[in-house]
Structure 1
Amino acid sequence: MTNAKPVHGSQQFLLTLLGTYFLGVEDKVPSTFFVDVLGDFGLSETASRNALSRVARQGFLEPSKRGRSTYYALTEAAHSRQRRRLKQIVDFGRVLTEWDGTWTVATFSVSEDQRHLRHQARQILRQSGFGLLYDGVWVSPWPLAEDSRQAMLNIGIDRITVFTGAASVTFGGEGDPVSAFELEAVRPLLESFIARTAPIVDALRSNKISPTDALRLRIETLRDWRNLGENHPDLPSDLLPADWPLTMARKLFEQAYDGLAAAAEARMRHHVGQSAAELIPSVRSLSTAEVADLEPAIGDPRKMTVGTGGLS
């Protein structure tokens, strides 16, 4: 495997590490541990400590002092949020929801003096699984969630109409509601994930991945799966092309994420042992099957929250 190169988004990697390996761990962890483990991702000590400070300011970590040493612990709010995000990310593509053939159509109107609200409204609809079919006409195979409707009202959109029904006439092309989701623009993302992940699975079969590489690759694979889930339209299998490669991508994700687990965990325990050996028994992460057994996330579990970084 290749050597680690410095990564962009150090906060994202730090949050992903915390959400993957420290869920439920209330102990305080020395900052030196984070510096050591982020070094596996090519981050300098300065970059690692800056990431710690920024994540703490965001309310995910609570710092404390013991003499001259700084320690960090996940806040209560972070435990809940990271657990929810881990389930949303890892469960993506595991089961495609059955569909009853009903479409939801949403339209809204904003006066010219409030045109700045349009972007916010569009973001809410996109994050709710809606696609733009025509100007001002949004469609989804799923109902508009109550929290999304409330979010529209909260930003000041009070002229919104939502109705449901089956598409009685199929015109094809741009008239097909599925065209609102630009599936063929997403296909290369799936193919790219497959191309990156298949060599990892092959290397696992040949036992050619070191613990250091395993930790880095496992976190990077989870990051890539999250990015894919955030860009993949929320459509039932009925509406996907017969040759859609999501099933293959999901299989490779499971093989890589679960196959890297033991060696990655060994590397994490090595790092913990250098600065807080008493925490070694606490270090473990959930397999894809164990994540599937977690209680469902609050709200609609199908869609991820876009653009929040890490598991947050």
Structure 2
Amino acid sequence: MSLASDCVAELVCNFQARRPIRAGSLIITVYGDAIVPRGGTVWLGSLYQLLEPIGINERLVRTSVYRLTQDTWLQGEKVGRRSYYSLSNAGRRRFEQAFKRVYHGQQIQWMGKWTLAMLTQLEPGIRQKVRDELEWLGFGSFCPGILAHPTLSRNETIAVLQEMGAAEDTIIMQTEPLTPMVRKPLRLQVRESWNLDDLSQSYKVFLDKFRPLWRALANEDNALSEEECFIARILLIHEYRKVQLRDPQLPDELLPAAWEGRNAFQLCRNIYRAIHQRAESWLDKHLETAEGPLPAPTSSFYQRFGGLD
């Protein structure tokens, strides 16, 4: 057994030791990373095969898929005695918003504008739901009832609110930048509105967990089997995505100079590039749709992390 294999085994043990095991979240990672680029639909039995080595048994897969369907993440279809599942429309929207951050870490140039969402006129029953959704998208609280985002546009925000039936009762404004921007008070405001210290610590935990694997891969050619590459890739993206979901993706101008998020992206990119091909070979042999094997990945798959071989 290679050192890289030992690292993968350790990652699996760490995942299995958690209680409760978040199987539903891991299944969403599998869909986003592996299934959506290949048509988006897969036989339920294929999920059993993929997840069993990570410690998710058949019963837990069934229960988790049922819950994800109830929560409108997934939708199912019966073909004969077999069940096939894909992301729902709502699930695909959430996937696109979350996963594009994971694979494309480049920051767009910030022009100093802010999108403001004023929730003061919303009924109390829906106000918290809107707040939760906007914070999931990276909004921070500037003051009670007012959330702010530096890069999400006014139109993108309105589209989310329309889906929630809250657009007519939420005030959305776009600020214009002042020239020159005064950086010090902006950074102080950012620290009050987003918990960057806690986020930085989460990135450090991710780096400590996956750096041993990268060092082992750098010293051992083809050290992992195809199955181990798939397992490592899924756990890599799963752990990185969990931190990314809490990252508001603030522009560099608003972040500390030594920001661990940059190092975490580089590490995730390097490992992914090293193992994605053998993981894809594993998927070729073990995933099925109603028509047979999954189709090949789309061209957008190979644009992840700035380009895959």
Return the TM-score normalized by structure 2: 0.73
Q: How does 1:7-26 map to 2 (within 5 A)?
A: 8-23=21-36, 25=38
- The answer to whether residue 138 in structure 2 is matched with residue 102 in structure 1 is no
* Cα distance in structure 1, aligned partners of 2:131 and 2:214: 39
1:162 alignment partner, SS class:
strand
Runs (5+) with no aligned partner, structure 1: 295-312
Within the candidate set 186, 209, 213, 1:196 is matched to 209
* Cα distance in structure 2, aligned partners of 1:171 and 1:83: 33
- The answer to whether residue 274 in structure 2 is matched with residue 259 in structure 1 is yes
- The answer to whether residue 247 in structure 2 is matched with residue 232 in structure 1 is yes
Return the TM-score normalized by structure 1: 0.72
1:39 alignment partner in structure 2: 52
> Which shifted more, 159-168 or 100-109?
159-168
Residue 162 of structure 1 aligns with an amino acid whose one-letter code is M
1:154 alignment partner, SS class:
coil
Contact 1:105–1:163, Cα closer than 8 Å, also in 2: yes
- Structure 1 residues 125 and 10 mapped into 2: Cα distance closer, same or farther (>3 Å)? closer
2:236 alignment partner in structure 1: 221
* Cα distance in structure 2, aligned partners of 1:27 and 1:149: 27
Residue 129 of structure 1 aligns with an amino acid whose one-letter code is G
- The answer to whether residue 145 in structure 2 is matched with residue 145 in structure 1 is no
- Aligned positions, number: 287
> Which shifted more, 219-228 or 70-79?
70-79
* Cα distance in structure 1, aligned partners of 2:94 and 2:121: 35
* Cα distance in structure 2, aligned partners of 1:105 and 1:59: 28
2:3 alignment partner in structure 1: none
Contact 2:99–2:241, Cα closer than 8 Å, also in 1: no
Say which structure is richer in helix: 2
**What's the CA shift for 1:276?**
9.7
> Which shifted more, 100-109 or 226-235?
100-109
**Identity of aligned pairs, percent?**
19
* Cα distance in structure 1, aligned partners of 2:117 and 2:41: 47
* Cα distance in structure 2, aligned partners of 1:224 and 1:74: 22
- The answer to whether residue 195 in structure 2 is matched with residue 154 in structure 1 is no
2:303 alignment partner in structure 1: 290
1:100 alignment partner, SS class:
coil
CA RMSD of aligned residues (A): 4.0
Contact 1:59–1:75, Cα closer than 8 Å, also in 2: yes
Within the candidate set 63, 72, 76, 2:84 is matched to 72
Residue 54 of structure 2 aligns with an amino acid whose one-letter code is F
Runs (5+) with no aligned partner, structure 2: 1-5
* Cα distance in structure 2, aligned partners of 1:214 and 1:25: 18
